[in-house]
Structures are given as C-alpha cells and as structure tokens.
C-alpha cells in the first residue's frame, strides 16, 4: 500500500468515522474531511464544507492516493427530508469530489446504496441487476454512481442498512433494541414481512481497506447477504436482550413485502471479503450502549 494519504469525506459521520478509524488503526495515512471539528478523533482531520470549498485546492499538496467519499445529505427521519434540496446537496458534493479526483489523478471509492434495487423484486440482486430511482435521494445516488464510475479505477459500494458505530439514528433497529432493553413491546406494522439487510460499519470499513490494497474497480454489493424480516428482527432482539415482547399493530406498513436480497459474491471473489459481524453481535453491541 502507498504511503500517500487516503482522504475520507464525511469522516465525522456514521460510516465515514468507522472507515477513517479502521484505516488509521491499520497504518494507513488518513485525512478525514469533516464539516465541524470532532470532539476527539484518532486520525488527522480537516474542516471543509464540500458544498462550498474545493477539495482539490485543500488537499492537492498532499497528493492523495484515494478519496473515499462517504459524505452525503442522507435522509434521516424528520431530521433531514428526502427532498430535492437535499438531493441537490448530495449531487453538488459528488460532482465536486469527482472533479477533484480527476484533477488530482487519484482513485475514488464511492458510497452508494442498495435502495437503487427494486424492493418488490423477490429475486436476489447482483451488481448487474436493474437499478432505478424512486426518491430524490436515490436519484442523486444513481447519478453519483454514473459520474464516479466514469473515473478510471473507481469503486462503487452499494450498501443496505448500516449498523454499529456511534450516535442514535432513529432507525427501526435502534428503536427495537431500545424498547427491548426497557422491557417494552416491539410493534410490528402490517404483516412484518418487510425485509432489511443489516451490515456492520466495521465490515464496510474492512471492505474499503481491502479495496485500497488490491486495487479492484467496479460496483460491489457490500451487505450481509442475510436479509431479515421486521418480525424476525424483533424476535431476535428479544431473544438476545431477554426482555420485550412482539405485538402486532393495525398500522399498515407501506413497504410490506419489500425484499432486501443482495448477492455479495462479487466482493467475496474480488477481495476475499465477507461480513464478520452477524445480527446477534450487532444487537449485543447496541445493547451495551444503554
């Protein structure tokens, strides 16, 4: 691996922090790009507003080897809507990062999402499966994939539902664990057959580390490969925690029956990568936060 630094955008965020920390722990020279100063970080960092400032101008003298682009205006419940304004923010950042990589002559590892696959399709999706966008954020990620993929040597990571790290994100995983810890009922909407694929941020970071060392390119599903239904998630959490109960609700789930079935053999074959943190370990780690 080169001694040239690796730039990680969004290093103050959920996935970016895990990636920057993992690379630093493995001896990779890292510069994290953050919007505001972190309270404590094991890696070097620099504040930069990627919607305004030029990444190339800020880090060009460092001659970075790779940019791992994790920053995005990710929808987060009521905190950040999935609307055109936030999608435009993501597009603007993506375009700036792609331009910076082209100007600096460095590789790009781009974080995309499995939301681009058809959730109504019961088949397992590989990297050649059809993709499309039904929300502004998904449209931004799809356009980001296209411009990132035009760069030589680029890697596009399609990620489903990340778990682990720090901070509460008010996801179904977070809410279910918190309610089980407090011996409260876990409410299932609809039939409870909606699936999600939860992948730990440590496994995402490990994929990045391997991609840096083996110089692969292309699109990769970086998922657990083991979808779980909402009812199955609730029952597993209750089993691990030892408290809580499952209750059915009259509230319909607008995503009832959606699947999250992703083929991860591409990453396994190219990088000998496989997820190491299973769903029970994810739950145990999350419980330890309470």
Query: How much is the pLDDT for 204?
Result: 98
When pLDDT is cut at 50, 70 and 90, the band that residue 1 belongs to is: low
H helices within 105-135, ranges in order?
none
Query: How much is the pLDDT for 82?
Result: 87
Q: What is the pTM of this model?
A: 0.95
The predicted-structure confidence for 150-177, as pLDDT tens digits, reads as follows 999 999 999 999 998 775 567 899 999 9
Query: How much is the pLDDT for 289?
Result: 83
CA-to-CA dists, residue 72 to 36, 144, 167, 265, 274, angstroms: 15, 10, 17, 27, 25
The predicted-structure confidence for 19-30, as pLDDT tens digits, reads as follows 999 999 999 999
The predicted-structure confidence for 29-63, as pLDDT tens digits, reads as follows 999 999 999 888 999 999 999 999 999 999 999 99
CB 97 within 8 A of CB 67: yes
Share of the chain above pLDDT 70, in %: 97
Q: What is the mean pLDDT of the chain?
A: 94
Query: How much is the pLDDT for 190?
Result: 95
Burial classification of residue 89, based on how many CB atoms lie within 10 Å of its CB (0-12 exposed, 13-18 middle, 19 or more buried): middle
Span 134-144, average pLDDT: 96
CA angle, 198 then 200 then 201, to 5°: 130
CB 17 within 8 A of CB 33: no
| Dist. CA 106–CA 153, nearest whole Å | 9
The predicted-structure confidence for 176-227, as pLDDT tens digits, reads as follows 999 999 999 999 999 999 999 999 999 999 999 999 999 899 999 999 999 9
Residues pairing with 229 in the sheet: 195
Query: How much is the pLDDT for 168?
Result: 53
The predicted-structure confidence for 118-128, as pLDDT tens digits, reads as follows 999 999 999 99
Query: How much is the pLDDT for 2?
Result: 67
CA angle, 111 then 107 then 82, to 5°: 20
Please state the CATH superfamily assignment of the domain spanning residues 6-166+198-224+261-276 in this structure. NAD(P)-binding Rossmann-like Domain (3.40.50.720)
Span 236-265, average pLDDT: 96
């Amino acid at each position: 691996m080169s001694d040239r630094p690796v730039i990680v955008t969004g290093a103050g965020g959920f996935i970016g922090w895990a990636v920057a920390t993992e690379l630093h722990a493995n001896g990779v020279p890292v510069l994290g790009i953050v919007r505001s100063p972190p309270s404590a970080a094991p890696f070097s960092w620099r504040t930069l507003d990627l919607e305004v400032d030029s990444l190339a101008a800020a880090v060009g003298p460092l001659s970075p080897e790779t940019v791992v682009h994790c920053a995005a205006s990710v929808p987060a419940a009521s905190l950040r809507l999935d609307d055109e304004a936030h999608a435009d923010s993501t597009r603007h950042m993506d375009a700036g990062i792609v331009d910076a990589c082209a100007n600096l002559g460095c590789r790009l590892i781009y974080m995309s999402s499995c939301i681009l696959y058809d959730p109504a399709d019961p088949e397992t999706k590989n990297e050649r499966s059809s993709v499309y966008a039904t929300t502004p954020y998904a449209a931004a990620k799809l356009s980001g994939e296209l411009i990132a993929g035009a760069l030589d040597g680029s890697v596009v990571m399609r990620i489903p539902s990340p778990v682990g790290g720090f901070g509460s994100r008010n996801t179904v995983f977070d809410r279910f664990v918190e309610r089980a810890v407090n011996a409260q009922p876990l409410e299932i909407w609809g039939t409870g057959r909606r699936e999600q694929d939860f992948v730990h941020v440590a496994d995402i970071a490990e994929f990045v580390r391997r991609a840096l060392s083996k110089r692969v390119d292309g699109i990769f599903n970086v998922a657990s490969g083991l979808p779980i239904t909402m009812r199955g998630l609730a029952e597993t959490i209750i089993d691990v925690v030892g408290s809580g109960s499952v209750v059915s609700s009259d509230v319909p789930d607008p995503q009832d029956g959606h699947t999250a079935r992703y083929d991860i053999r591409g990453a396994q074959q190219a990088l000998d990568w496989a997820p190491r943190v299973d769903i029970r370990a994810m739950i145990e780690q999350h419980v330890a936060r309470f």
